[in-house]
Amino acid sequence: MENRIDALFDRLREEGKKAFVAYVAAGDPDISRCKEVVKALAEAGADLIELGVPFSDPLADGIVNQMAAQRALDAGTTTPKVIEMIRELRADGLEAPIILFTYLNPVYTYGFEAFHRDASAAGADGILTLDLPPDEAAAHRELAYHEGLRQIRLIAPTSPEKRIASISAASEGFIYYVSREGVTGEQDEVATSISDQVAQIRAHTDTPVVVGFGIKDPEQARTVATQADGVVVGSAIVKIVAAEGASPDLAEKVRDFVKPLVDAVKSV
């Protein structure tokens, strides 16, 4: 069976469309309601879902996503429960590719091979380990184990040409270009360097390039979609979950917020 991420980007390339990638923290505000949110994201047209695995020390995340991870942990979310949630979402008919956005610690604590095997069996399609550089994975055989999960790589604005080349060569599924320095979180303006940076990455690989960090509204999403193969929106969605977590209309509010973002990306 073709990996869902590969199949998605093959289809979008044929259609001349860009991908909309939505991020939420797994288990925020709790497992049951998070499942409703994920389904709402798919209903709104999100092509790919990123699930953040809750971790107590998420150094690459801004305050919005840090608090989301803490809410999930406080609600009793564990790594095994995240994997089980994916299995349940697949059983409920969710078809969108799922990426696990994580730090190395939860994966290594679970057991690196066991995590990849179980996550893949549950229905995950890829993994983005924020604090695992590709050269470290190459140096340690157990860290290179992936059991069917595409290893998504990050490239930053500060990455030198040589590193861009090496990361691109090792890329699978898609490359996540971080549009600015610092941690996750909404920004008032889109970085002006995106087009040049994406072109530099594309010089080394045919792997799709998606852009995230800071995109918060349809206008920004449309602008970024003209320069890349996909757009990631995370903190702006997580803020809706934070504000409406106790509301019976949480899923509907998320869907209503995300649909204009998807439409903007698809208009390109």
* Residues labelled as active-site residues: 50, 61
Beta strands 126-129; 150-151: pairing state: parallel
Query: Which of 6, 9, 20, 4 lies closest to 220, judged by CA?
Result: 20
d(CA 221, CA 264): 6
Say which DSSP state 182 is in.
S
Residue 22: strand pairing partners: 49, 233
For 62, phi then psi, to 5°, come to: -80, 180
Distances (CA, A) of 48 to 4, 98, 128, 130, 262: 9, 6, 13, 18, 11
How far does Cα 32 stand from its chain's mean position? 20
Computed from CA positions of residues 97, 126, 24, 199, in that sequence, does the dihedral angle turn out positive or negative?
negative
